[in-house]
Amino acid sequence: MAAPKKVQQRLAALRKEIDHHNYRYYVLDDPEIPDAAYDRLLRELQEIETNHPELITPESPSQRVGASPVTAFQEVRHAVPMLSLSNAFSNEETSDFDRRVRERLQVDSVEYTAEPKFDGLAVSLRYENGKLVQGATRGDGTRGEDITQNVRTVSTIPLHLLGTNYPAVLEVRGEVLMSIAGFAALNERQRANNEKVFANPRNAAAGSLRQLDSRITANRPLEFFCYGLGEVVGRELPALHSEILELLRHWGVRVAAETKVVNGVEGCLTFYRDIMQRRDSLPYEIDGVVYKVNRLDQQEKLGFVSRAPRWAVAHKFPAQEEMTTLLAIDVQVGRTGAITPVARLEPVVVGGVTVSNATLHNEDEIERLDVRKGDTVIVRRAGDVIPEIVSVVAAKRKKGARHFRMPTHCPVCNSEVVRLEGEAAARCTGGLFCDAQRRESIKHFASRRAMDIEGLGDKLVDQLDDSGLINDIADLYTLNKQDLADLERMGDKSAVNLLAALDKSKNTTLARFLFSLGIRLVGEATAQTLASHFGSVEDLQAADLEALQLVPDVGPAVAESIRAFFHEKHNRDVIKKLRKAGIHWPKPEVVNKSKQTLQGKIFVLTGTLEKMTRDEAKQALQARGAKVTGSVSKKTDYVVGGKDPGSKYDKAQQLGVRILDEAGLRKLLK
Ligand code: IVH
């Protein structure tokens, strides 16, 4: 039986509305409604489609889940070949490119569009009468593979174009890639499931897009950016490349926000420097920038040489992966005794920075890579992530290269090293007897988010420990001016300042205090929950495993770690000493279940509050079960704006997140 007209109308309206929100979210990066509201629309749509499967169309926003697997990809012939770009590796080579362009065109100056060069996979998307009918890889440029089912699962690829004035045939060319965050999350998931870990976002994107089973692709965080066109039939296009990109954006296709029109080679190089500086903070990896002559008539005049256009060039960034030699594998002992293997490398410049150390994470990672001393390795440094070893060049391995063995005893204190079942890290059992653990724990104690002792940096902690003036964190508060002034590079003035900072740090919160103790698995958030749950160190100390596990987010491992910490007499003594030295905090409000009025709600605080500090507001919110985070997103439930709020306030307005003033907050807390 045909669905009632009313249902059909609602379905059409829903699809239109969801498409609109997809456009706001993916193309304009400026969503209008919160995630929850979007999810409701999608759910309503799915409900109707479940009841009326005959109404499902391939363009429905619900159809991004992937289709049944295929045995092989079909071949696709590109109507317009997919070309590559020639490269420039320096400013000089870029100037050469500009000079050649000007000479050929016989002009003094040329206008270019400058775009990021995405590090992913080129794809061609064919729209007929506005509907996505085919997706293809680049292949050899003339023939690629049909990956239609796969591209359909990528949420930034529109299943149909918006508006009405698009050409009858439109081939959109661009890059499919994975964001750095998406890549990290995918690898974490893969590791947890004992599945293949990808070396970099590019490989992850390639591996995900070329799945014969598109349902797998659907679960991979792929994205798409458009940078040009292939075949176009049935409509005149604007005269400038930048106008074409603008038009594509209008039709709902995502174009990089960084794209810019610039003048001459100077404009190109300024763009390069600017993007290079922001490279580490971009959400995705780029391996350079692309300059394209903006006027299409000039592009046509310039034409092609072999398989690359004369009107474009890729100005490449220094590579983020390099090859070097692994000189040794050392181990480092952290605050909690975790022993981390560190690769000592023949220094090599990666992404413009000299790298001589890289983390090897743990024993399992070394085994997975099968990396050995003397090996030729590929090192990677991307964003602000610690340099890593990605792989070993097996062919270059020297005969007799030996496997790494985790030391059985701590290289710092010689205590036994153990690795507990189910744990990735091996640990030194020396506790605070171990110099390394002691120093790291003092550094942690003094750090900004813990006791916030201004001026007590890593070097000074090492110096104090060397001099024998302190043996544990509590000794910090017994230091006097003379002790300090006698240290090298420390004058009277710095000594006085440090004493003042120590004094100031005594006035703290229970949560900070618990965090600063450095109990394994107790981070800032857990410390906060423990503080509001127990209200005092004594009560926390007295709690048994069962009582501990009643606290939200405290599982058996965390509970066991807390119990073990307080079981240690040394730790209890240090706490006593610290309290005697005058460390104090206001009594936190203890939570009882009936008061969890804001359970699960997410808050962001910005600006200055008048009747309470931000910390107090945070505690009060957390005591009621709310989460307080640092940045505004669509998941945020409330933004509390005090006096002189920052950009978070604007962002909240943009995203339509509810905004409270101080009075509103107080009301909510009541
Ligand atoms: S334009 C005719 N623009 O780089 C010009 N390509 O090295 C064709 N790429 O195969 C390409 N970002 O996969 C162009 N903004 C951008 C790009 C870009 C990345 C890739 C593309 C191409 C390869 C050439």
pLDDT digits (tens, 9 = 90+) for 342-370: 999 999 988 778 999 999 989 988 998 99
User: What is the predicted pLDDT for the residue at 175?
Assistant: 97
CATH number at residue 487: 1.10.150.20
Residue-wise pLDDT for 482-529, tens only, equals 989 888 888 889 999 999 999 999 999 999 999 999 998 899 889 999
Q: Residue range 227-238: average pLDDT?
A: 95
CATH number at residue 392: 2.40.50.140
Residue 180, H or E segment: helix 180-192
Query: Are 328 and 354 part of one and the same domain?
Result: yes
CA of 117 to the centre of ligand 1 (A): 7
CA of 154 to the centre of ligand 1 (A): 19
Percent pLDDT > 90 in the chain is 61
Residue 499, H or E segment: helix 492-505
User: What is the predicted pLDDT for the residue at 442?
Assistant: 95
**Average pLDDT value for the chain:** 90
Decide if pLDDT at 247 tops 70: yes
Decide if pLDDT at 68 tops 70: yes
164 or 134, higher pLDDT: 134
Exposure on the CB side of residue 4, measured as CA atoms within 13 A: 4
Residue 417 domain-assigned (yes or no): no
Residue 427 domain-assigned (yes or no): no
User: What is the predicted pLDDT for the residue at 593?
Assistant: 53
Residue pair 148/134 in contact (Cβ under 8 Å)? The answer is yes
Query: Are 171 and 309 part of one and the same domain?
Result: yes
User: What is the predicted pLDDT for the residue at 111?
Assistant: 98
Residue 405 domain-assigned (yes or no): no
Residue 123, H or E segment: strand 121-128
Residue 410 domain-assigned (yes or no): no
CA of 22 to the centre of ligand 1 (A): 25
Residue-wise pLDDT for 602-621, tens only, equals 999 988 888 888 888 888 88
CATH number at residue 195: 3.30.470.30
User: What is the predicted pLDDT for the residue at 594?
Assistant: 57
Residue-wise pLDDT for 414-468, tens only, equals 999 999 887 888 999 888 789 999 999 999 999 999 999 999 999 999 999 999 8
Where would I find the beta strands (DSSP E) of 334-405?
338-350, 353-359, 376-380, 388-392
Query: Are 54 and 90 part of one and the same domain?
Result: no
How far is residue 518's CA from residue 524's CA, in Å, rounded to a whole number? Answer: 10
In order of 66, 88, 209, 627, the CA distances from 216 in angstroms are 7, 37, 9, 33
Output the ligand 1 site: residues, CB below 6 A. Answer: 83-85, 115, 117-118, 122, 138, 175, 227-228, 290, 309, 312, 314
Per-residue burial over 391-418, b = 16 or more CB atoms within 10 Å of its CB, e = otherwise: ebeeeeeeeeeeebeeeeebebbebebe
Query: Are 340 and 473 part of one and the same domain?
Result: no
Residue-wise pLDDT for 651-667, tens only, equals 888 888 898 888 889 88
Residue-wise pLDDT for 178-229, tens only, equals 999 899 899 888 877 878 888 889 989 999 999 999 999 999 999 999 999 9
Query: Are 222 and 103 part of one and the same domain?
Result: yes
CA of 478 to the centre of ligand 1 (A): 63
Residue 104 domain-assigned (yes or no): yes
| Those residues with Cβ within 8 angstroms of residue 111's Cβ, 6 or more apart along the chain or in another chain | 261, 262, 263, 293, 294, 295
Query: Are 165 and 204 part of one and the same domain?
Result: yes
pLDDT category, 595, cuts 50, 70, 90? Answer: low
Count of CB atoms within 10 A of residue 429's CB?
Answer: 15
Tokens of 591: 């939570």
Pocket test for ligand 1, best of 89, 113, 117, 260 (most atoms within 8 A of CB): 117
Decide if pLDDT at 140 tops 90: no
Query: Are 113 and 206 part of one and the same domain?
Result: yes
Q: Which candidate in 117, 292, 443, 618 is catalytic? A: 117
Decide if pLDDT at 591 tops 70: no
CA of 150 to the centre of ligand 1 (A): 20
- φ, ψ of residue 269 in degrees (nearest 5): -70, -35
User: What is the predicted pLDDT for the residue at 10?
Assistant: 94
How far is residue 95's CA from residue 266's CA, in Å, rounded to a whole number? Answer: 9
Q: Tell which of 557, 580, 603 closes a domain.
A: 580
CA of 82 to the centre of ligand 1 (A): 9
Nearest alpha carbon, ligand 1 atom 13: 122
Q: 580-584, 612-616, 638-642: which has the minimum mean pLDDT? A: 612-616
Nearest alpha carbon, ligand 1 atom 18: 117
Residue 109 domain-assigned (yes or no): yes
Query: Are 561 and 511 part of one and the same domain?
Result: yes
CATH number at residue 599: 3.40.50.10190
Pocket test for ligand 1, best of 113, 118, 275, 311 (most atoms within 8 A of CB): 118
Specify the number of domains making up the chain.
5
Decide if pLDDT at 1 tops 80: no
Q: Which domain holds residue 380?
A: 321-396
Query: Are 565 and 531 part of one and the same domain?
Result: yes
Helix (H, G, I), strand (E, B) or coil at 665: helix
Residue 586 domain-assigned (yes or no): no
Q: Residue range 541-562: average pLDDT?
A: 89
CATH number at residue 16: 1.10.287.610
Helix ranges, 236-375 (H): 241-250, 264-278, 296-302, 363-369
Where would I find the beta strands (DSSP E) of 190-282?
222-233, 260-263
Q: Tell which of 292, 316, 340 closes a domain.
A: 316
Q: Which of 429, 482, 473 is nearest to 451 (CA)?
A: 473
| Those residues with Cβ within 8 angstroms of residue 135's Cβ, 6 or more apart along the chain or in another chain | 123, 124, 125, 126, 146, 147, 148, 150, 151, 152, 157
* Burial environment of residue 665 by CB neighbours within 10 A (0 to 12, 13 to 18, 19 or more): buried
Residue-wise pLDDT for 277-288, tens only, equals 898 888 898 989
How far is residue 190's CA from residue 89's CA, in Å, rounded to a whole number? Answer: 35
Please give the full DSSP string across 600-640, using - where no structure is assigned: T-EEEEESB-SSS-HHHHHHHHHHTT-EEESS--TT--EEE
Decide if pLDDT at 624 tops 60: yes
Query: Are 391 and 256 part of one and the same domain?
Result: no
Query: Are 542 and 615 part of one and the same domain?
Result: no
Percent pLDDT > 70 in the chain is 99
Count of CB atoms within 10 A of residue 306's CB?
Answer: 7
Q: What is the pTM of this model?
A: 0.64
pLDDT category, 103, cuts 50, 70, 90? Answer: very high
Atom of ligand 1 nearest to the CA of 308: 2
Residue 407 domain-assigned (yes or no): no
User: What is the predicted pLDDT for the residue at 620?
Assistant: 83
Q: Tell which of 316, 342, 357 closes a domain.
A: 316
635 flagged as catalytic:
no
∠ CA(246), CA(255), CA(161), 5° rounding?
70
pLDDT category, 384, cuts 50, 70, 90? Answer: low
Residue-wise pLDDT for 299-313, tens only, equals 999 999 878 999 999
Nearest alpha carbon, ligand 1 atom 23: 84
Query: Are 200 and 326 part of one and the same domain?
Result: no
Nearest alpha carbon, ligand 1 atom 12: 117
Tokens of 180: 């750095």
